[in-house]
Structure 1
Amino acid sequence: MTAGDNGSKPADDDPFGYLYADGQAAGATPPSGGGGYGYPGPRSSYHQVRPVGERQYKGPQQQYAQQPPAHGQVPPQQPPYGQPPYGQQQVPPGPPAAHGGPGGGRGRGPNTRGILIGAIAVLAAVVVGIGVVVLNGKDDDKTPASADSTPSAPAQGGDEGEEDKAPKGDGDEKTPEPGELPRLDAKALKQEGGVTTSSDVSGAKAAGGVYVTGFNQVGAAVTWTLDDIAEPGKYTVFVGYTVPGKDANATITVNGTAQSRPFSLKNYANAAEGDRAKGWTESYGYVELNKGTNTVKLSCEEGNQCDADLDRVWLAKGWVTRG
């Protein structure tokens, strides 16, 4: 008997005696066949350990087709009928995806209709913008129709008294076309009160340089009979004349009624005193005529300064500053 030996076999006393040197010396051997005392046997799943739920099963009919447990092992519990084995529990289906991909069942796809409508709206806005730019460009190239009809200021002055009476912006300030209304040389007017014709002073614009002189005396007058006036209304009487470097004036009478303001015969040419040849210019007065025949008389009355020679007369429609 050795020290520590109580007279029994180590194998009967200590099932793990074969693991120690003294047990092996006493004849202890490992159990044969495996599976005893909880030791793993050759058919044990010792080398097949996996995390829970990792084992794959081929089907319900094969989920228990494994070796029976070795002696001392607890057999696995069979799940209830119709339930998958442990580790293969199925997750309950959730709500359908917001956007399904191809073949994604009933999920909604991308909102292509909204994108298409937005693209069409942008294209329409671009087309409208281009149209507005093109139309504005065409309008800029147009010349205003009234550009040529706006009268400019006369080179020489006019009848200031009558011009003060002219209404502002009545729209009649248009230059008449040549021949639209009568034009005459002063020598063709009815002469009275001692006036005569002459051509001594150069510069007259009447035919042959002939003009009416002797106007510088009370009672001197020239009368112009206007026939076939088509429309009643406002007209402008123009007179061509010369003065010897000083201002003059006269009285204008329309159809027997004298106007209160004198007809201006100013020295608009700024001729030197006594220089009639440099004093040729023109002036105008505003009148109103009737339809048909009218008479216009230019005369030297009391209070007038009438030292002037007359060469032409003409009529323009409306109250204008050029005719």
Structure 2
Amino acid sequence: MAPGNNGASTTPEDDDPFGYLYADGQAAGATPPNGGGGGYGYPNPRSSYHQVRPVGERQYGQTQPTQQYQQPNAYYQAPETVAGGVPAQPAPPQAPSRGGGGRGRGPNTKALLIGAVAVVAAVVIGISVAMLSNGSDDDKGGDAGANPSGDAQTVQPSETPSQSSQAKPEALPKTDAKALKLEGGPVTASDVKGAKAAGGVYVAGFNKVGAKISWNVDIAKAGQYRLYVRFGIPGEDANATLNVNAKPNAQALSMRNFAESPKGDWEKGWQSTWANVTLTKGTNVIELVCADGNQCNANIDKLWLQ
């Protein structure tokens, strides 16, 4: 509903109950409730005025009749009451108008409220950030003083990463057919392909009772080791007696057909086997012997310790 008289009613306050606050409402005859006087800087409509003039109609520089007010306003004096048309004192500050029509409004309390809320919010945020920062500093200080020695208690000088990475396993001895000592009929050969010794050389003729293959090996530390032997068979199981330092080993050397190679095929019969041996510090003599009861139809390629 627009303020003022829209023509639907002869009484302005029926249309806009606050019409008496505006200049156009007063021109239409609106009066404040209870017959009271003027308000919000407007003079009492019951007072005697010679002329009611809308804002902007006054033209300065012209001679105007002197206006008299029955109830003068301490904060306002019409320009025509001053000689020469110049006001004796400035009019009180007016609130910025919202829209057209020259409708005066009171102070913008909504803007002031928003500003106050923004200030309070900024203060609360600042306090929260300060408290969080102090808490983080306290936590850091507590962790730093809990264990002054830090990792020094858990990392020993002998277990540093650089030393552990430099540690290498001991290189154990290994040999092939050309370095072995042969007795009782074995010989070196290279007819069957697949041997890994240099030149494809292997030990043949081990299938005779009394045949012996010897390996002299130096050990830096006494203990139990695993002796590996690479051998070749024609698709049939074989075995041999294992002596260590002239004594039969507790575990014989089994040369079974683990790969299930075809019978009679020497090239596809290359495989590996192992047995545990106990060696002393210094030189040890390891022997493979074809004794009575052994099945020694096998070629010997390489030996090594692990």
TM-score band w.r.t. shorter chain: 0.3 to 0.5
User: TM-score normalised to the size of structure 2?
Assistant: 0.46
**Structure whose CA Rg is larger:** 1
- Report the structure, 1 or 2, having the larger helix content: 2
